[in-house]
A and B are shown apart, each in its own frame.
Chain A
């Protein structure tokens, strides 16, 4: 088990290099970032030359990449074009997005799994069909529509919540954005759990457990659910990465100054240091989340072992 974890951690190293190199190249293809810094006027050529020299943009791309990597290992993620350290941006953005993701995941787990169990146990009944239809609607409506609609209704028309989140982004402010962010995944979790539960409900071990005279609650929670959760855990695990990086739309709608917003700003302003830095961290988060998912399999199903 220990060796397995170490092997997986080692595998992250080539993935890390590959990902950073790819992103670095992609950001560089976008063109000359200094030109966008002076608004609708042309940058003074002498100033532009100095800026390029400062940011190392006058060197060939491979050299820029090596310098960047070198700095990275000393903990220096570079500076955005407004002079702010990228690490400084990260230290404000990641906690916010982390809280948002946490809210979203909790929604997914609590609501998604409960609904899944509920519908899975009542397969074919009206309640099952009803929720099936509901999830279909949620999946097919794009997030920005749900987001803007809920913002307008709850925030402006009815005044239940503040339409825009303050820079502090406390948990209670993040409830609505978290729900919007989670909505699509939540529907998927419901469907996955439902199918899995419905299938396992007819398995031999469940019938045995029922025949033994175990209380229904225990049959469902210990025997049925534990075995049905494997595909759901996989989905939620990979979703952590997707939620953290994919919150661009939700964060912009609800004025959340998190990772998605910083990435958007970085891309629009062609600040390669910001984009590469943030994406690198996101890649790491994704890898670690996947590792944890794989390890959780063994917890859920003792038959799975890693050596």
Chain B
């Protein structure tokens, strides 16, 4: 039969094709067990090394699996001793660190070497750790992390092991509040197992935190189990956490409402209005250490002039922050009146109203300031943002509308979308911006210093607008060297005032976190970094 013969060939071709595209089996699923909660997760962008994780999703895991010298109190944000017994200094430059008796979950002792080796590993440019600049204050950093070329040393000269429970740190400048930065994940210790077999460690991280990694299916899920012998005070209150990667937060939201998911800390913007009804009020939106600003390209001469400072103040006064936070964000943002964040609290350096009238909406005054300053450089304000996520278009358009209305010119301001986040960041860091651009800052540690130095200090890592001011730099140096914390904070605020006087960036609003949860869990809270405090969650 001819037909049959042809069928044979078709079948043969199909078999070849199938063999060529055939692949292994899929991942494993399964529901959460007794006392275990399931939580939304985003796929971390980088491998889960402590110093290589600079975003929230990886940070969640490290927060559960690792413990550093300090830990930020999930309620107050204060840096409290975790593995550190005490950290002492007399001159704000030389520190002696004493450790508590502590173990890794694989039985290894946490020693001074666990820290020193981890930090040297993190700082070495050859290891390509994105958090390496956090170690920049330690003496000898420039040798292991030169700006160009290969490192000339393997270890930082500022780190010395005294005995298994003690090590000393010498900084390359005075920095009195340096110990308070040590709660950041990048400073976590690493066990020997990491240095013996990095790949194996990355596929199943072993740490010294309240949870251990039970199973990690990269890109789809991670199952964490309570570590019963955890030596710290903050033992997990549940038996474990199942982190599930979702393709989109809308899918996660539907799963939560349908009762298949226990915790979602990224409520879709479109659902903010409905969330309280949908989950019967099991929703919270506490303040987070995030501020959104508009940054300016100070590498363009037209933005550097005296008049341009007036124009920036004028633009700031033309933005109706209250209206935008209400109508666009449904009060999940709060209008900003300084350049830090309310989570710092007053004693930490937050000062409501530091911006003064310059951050208050006044259309007439805005128009006057902009005209006095010589008008908007280039005739039109183009606000650049990345169009691929975070629904930035909505608020940029709203800001532009507000400016256009204030100036009575509907072409004064337009949004300038840039396709992807990566492309946006690449243009920003290369200095290719012509006008203002979206800038967001999420704090690494709850210190006012972290809201100022990385963003406005001359040549600093995140000073994207390349703003530079001698007075500001001088005040920052003074504040860093100040041993008395209260005086240091006052000096930081003086420096912040310099930022305000020049309107180096227009503060827009403070961002809140958002979390919704199922009726299976209780005692849900977000810490000042807007990460859920997993360890304190109780499963009913």
Query: Which residues of A sit under 8 angstroms from B6, Cβ to Cβ?
Result: 1, 295, 298-299, 302
Contact A47 B13 (CB under 8 A): no
Contact A46 B252 (CB under 8 A): no
Contact pick for B128, options A39, A50, A302, CB 8 Å: A50
Contact B429 A284 (CB under 8 A): no
Further pairs besides A30-B423, A251-B247, A284-B21: 13, Cβ < 8 Å: A30-B419, A30-B422, A31-B423, A31-B427, A39-B55, A44-B145, A151-B254, A163-B251, A163-B254, A166-B30, A255-B255, A288-B17, A291-B17
Contact A38 B130 (CB under 8 A): yes
**Stretch of A69-77, A132-140, A183-191, A267-275 lying at the B interface:** A267-275
Q: Which residue of A lies closest to B56 (CB)?
A: A39
In the complex, how many angstroms separate the beta carbon of B403 from the nearest chain A beta carbon? 23
Contact A45 B147 (CB under 8 A): yes
Return 5 A-B CB contacts under 8 Å, by A number: A40-B441, A82-B47, A167-B26, A269-B422, A291-B17
Contact pick for A37, options B10, B45, B424, CB 8 Å: B45
Contact pick for B221, options A5, A167, A291, CB 8 Å: A167
Contact B44 A42 (CB under 8 A): no
Give complex CA distance A169, B12 in Å.
29
Query: Which residues of B sit under 8 angstroms from A1, Cβ to Cβ?
Result: 5-6, 9
Query: Which residues of A sit under 8 angstroms from B147, Cβ to Cβ?
Result: 45-46
Give complex CA distance A296, B148 in Å.
61
Query: Interface readout for A47-91 with B: 1 if CB under 8 Å, 0 if not?
Result: 101110010000000000000000000000000011110001111
Give complex CA distance A40, B27 in Å.
32
4-58 of chain A: CB within 8 A of chain B = 5, 30-47, 49-51, 54
Give complex CA distance A136, B17 in Å.
34
In the complex, how many angstroms separate the beta carbon of B353 from the nearest chain A beta carbon? 26
**Stretch of A111-119, A154-162, A195-203 lying at the B interface:** A154-162
Query: Which residues of B sit under 8 angstroms from A107, Cβ to Cβ?
Result: none
Query: Which residues of B sit under 8 angstroms from A151, Cβ to Cβ?
Result: 251, 254
The answer to the question of B157 belonging to the interface, with a C-beta cut-off of 8 Å to chain A, is no
Contact A95 B422 (CB under 8 A): no
Contact A252 B248 (CB under 8 A): yes
Contact B13 A255 (CB under 8 A): no
In the complex, how many angstroms separate the beta carbon of B491 from the nearest chain A beta carbon? 24
Contact A95 B23 (CB under 8 A): yes
Query: Which residues of B sit under 8 angstroms from A46, Cβ to Cβ?
Result: 125, 132, 145-148
Contact B426 A92 (CB under 8 A): no
Q: A51-B128, A89-B219, A92-B26 are in contact. Are A35 and B255 (CB under 8 A)?
A: no
Give complex CA distance A151, B260 in Å.
14
In the complex, how many angstroms separate the beta carbon of A281 from the nearest chain B beta carbon? 7
Give complex CA distance A164, B261 in Å.
10
In the complex, how many angstroms separate the beta carbon of B322 from the nearest chain A beta carbon? 25
Contact pick for A168, options B5, B28, B426, B427, CB 8 Å: B28
Contact A36 B420 (CB under 8 A): yes
Tell me how many residues of A have a C-beta within 8 Å of chain B: 78
In the complex, how many angstroms separate the beta carbon of B200 from the nearest chain A beta carbon? 13
The answer to the question of A96 belonging to the interface, with a C-beta cut-off of 8 Å to chain B, is yes
The answer to the question of B454 belonging to the interface, with a C-beta cut-off of 8 Å to chain A, is yes
Query: Interface readout for A249-262 with B: 1 if CB under 8 Å, 0 if not?
Result: 00111111100010
Contact pick for B260, options A30, A42, A164, CB 8 Å: A164
The answer to the question of B470 belonging to the interface, with a C-beta cut-off of 8 Å to chain A, is no
The answer to the question of A129 belonging to the interface, with a C-beta cut-off of 8 Å to chain B, is no
Give complex CA distance A256, B251 in Å.
10
Give complex CA distance A182, B5 in Å.
31
The answer to the question of A265 belonging to the interface, with a C-beta cut-off of 8 Å to chain B, is yes
Q: Which residue of A lies closest to B418 (CB)?
A: A31
Query: Which residues of A sit under 8 angstroms from B221, Cβ to Cβ?
Result: 167
Contact B220 A92 (CB under 8 A): yes
Q: Which of A36, A270, A302 has the most chain B CB atoms closer than 10 A to its own CB?
A: A36
The answer to the question of B301 belonging to the interface, with a C-beta cut-off of 8 Å to chain A, is no
Query: Which residues of A sit under 8 angstroms from B5, Cβ to Cβ?
Result: 1
Contact B23 A288 (CB under 8 A): no
In the complex, how many angstroms separate the beta carbon of B460 from the nearest chain A beta carbon? 9
Query: Interface readout for A279-301 with B: 1 if CB under 8 Å, 0 if not?
Result: 00100110011011001101100
Contact B422 A43 (CB under 8 A): no
Contact B461 A44 (CB under 8 A): yes
In the complex, how many angstroms separate the beta carbon of A263 from the nearest chain B beta carbon? 12
98-114 of chain B: CB within 8 A of chain A = none
In the complex, how many angstroms separate the beta carbon of B513 from the nearest chain A beta carbon? 16
Contact pick for A81, options B27, B45, B388, CB 8 Å: B45
The answer to the question of B218 belonging to the interface, with a C-beta cut-off of 8 Å to chain A, is yes
Contact B27 A5 (CB under 8 A): no
Query: Interface readout for B1-40 with A: 1 if CB under 8 Å, 0 if not?
Result: 0110111011011101100110111111110000000000
The 7 closest A-B pairs by CB, nearest first: A36-B422, A35-B426, A168-B29, A166-B29, A288-B17, A32-B426, A163-B254
Query: Which residues of A sit under 8 angstroms from B7, Cβ to Cβ?
Result: 299
The answer to the question of B330 belonging to the interface, with a C-beta cut-off of 8 Å to chain A, is no
Contact A281 B21 (CB under 8 A): yes
Query: Which residues of A sit under 8 angstroms from B424, Cβ to Cβ?
Result: 36
Contact pick for B217, options A39, A167, A268, CB 8 Å: A167
Query: Interface readout for A141-175 with B: 1 if CB under 8 Å, 0 if not?
Result: 00000001001100110010011101111100000
Contact B254 A82 (CB under 8 A): no
In the complex, how many angstroms separate the beta carbon of B368 from the nearest chain A beta carbon? 33
Query: Which residues of B sit under 8 angstroms from A35, Cβ to Cβ?
Result: 422-423, 425-426, 428-430
Contact B24 A267 (CB under 8 A): no
Contact B29 A167 (CB under 8 A): yes
Q: Which residue of B lies closest to A168 (CB)?
A: B29
Q: Which of B251, B388, B442, B454 has the most chain A CB atoms closer than 10 A to its own CB?
A: B251
Contact pick for B26, options A5, A33, A96, CB 8 Å: A96
Query: Which residues of A sit under 8 angstroms from B429, Cβ to Cβ?
Result: 35, 42-43
Contact B257 A156 (CB under 8 A): yes
Query: Which residues of B sit under 8 angstroms from A37, Cβ to Cβ?
Result: 45-46, 130, 422
The answer to the question of A2 belonging to the interface, with a C-beta cut-off of 8 Å to chain B, is yes
Give complex CA distance A251, B250 in Å.
12
The answer to the question of B405 belonging to the interface, with a C-beta cut-off of 8 Å to chain A, is no
Contact B23 A252 (CB under 8 A): no
Contact A295 B23 (CB under 8 A): no
Query: Which residues of B sit under 8 angstroms from A168, Cβ to Cβ?
Result: 26-30
Contact A265 B43 (CB under 8 A): yes
Q: A35-B425, A46-B146, A167-B221 are in contact. Are A267 and B47 (CB under 8 A)?
A: no
The answer to the question of B360 belonging to the interface, with a C-beta cut-off of 8 Å to chain A, is no
Query: Which residues of A sit under 8 angstroms from B190, Cβ to Cβ?
Result: none
Contact B247 A162 (CB under 8 A): no
Give complex CA distance A65, B248 in Å.
32
Contact A295 B13 (CB under 8 A): yes
Q: A163-B251, A256-B247 are in contact. Are A38 and B219 (CB under 8 A)?
A: no
Give complex CA distance A256, B27 in Å.
12
Give complex CA distance A256, B128 in Å.
32
Contact A267 B21 (CB under 8 A): no
Give complex CA distance A292, B15 in Å.
10
Query: Which residues of A sit under 8 angstroms from B218, Cβ to Cβ?
Result: 82, 84, 88
In the complex, how many angstroms separate the beta carbon of B201 from the nearest chain A beta carbon? 12
Give complex CA distance A249, B24 in Å.
24
Contact A30 B28 (CB under 8 A): no
Contact pick for B254, options A44, A152, A281, A292, CB 8 Å: A152
Query: Which residues of B sit under 8 angstroms from A47, Cβ to Cβ?
Result: 125, 128-130, 132
Contact A164 B255 (CB under 8 A): yes
Q: Which residue of B lies closest to A256 (CB)?
A: B247
The answer to the question of B389 belonging to the interface, with a C-beta cut-off of 8 Å to chain A, is yes
